Amino acid sequence: MKKLKKDPNSSSSVQSSINYREAILDLLNKRGLGKTICPSEILPLELKKDKDVMEKVRESAKLLVLENLIEITQSGKVIDPNSIKGPIRLRLKPLKRSL
């Protein structure tokens, strides 16, 4: 993940410097196939409790699902991104191999 330049007086400057899509994919690729992340893991500490920012991260995750790159899970099961309620995890979508 890219290092964030942050102004200690402005959380919005940190927020605007994060590319959520890139950050999600970067962290998932570092973890590897089969491993999951919590969406909040891509955020700096000062933004983790900001509901508006978390919603932007979730929206980025939903777009990655539409691109067939990741899956959203709850309790270890893949869920429909349009029916999210409660805590979620993200993981890379396994590649399907044709025989």
pLDDT in tens, 20-38: 999 999 999 999 999 999 9
Please state, rounded to an integer, the average pLDDT across all residues of the chain.
85
Q: Within 13 A of 67's CA, how many CA atoms are on the CB side? A: 11
Q: Specify the pLDDT at position 17.
A: 55
Strand, helix or coil for residue 52:
helix
Q: Specify the pLDDT at position 31.
A: 96
What's the CATH architecture for 11-92? Orthogonal Bundle (1.10)
End-to-end Cα separation, the chain, in angstroms:
35
pLDDT in tens, 68-98: 999 999 999 999 999 989 999 999 998 776 6
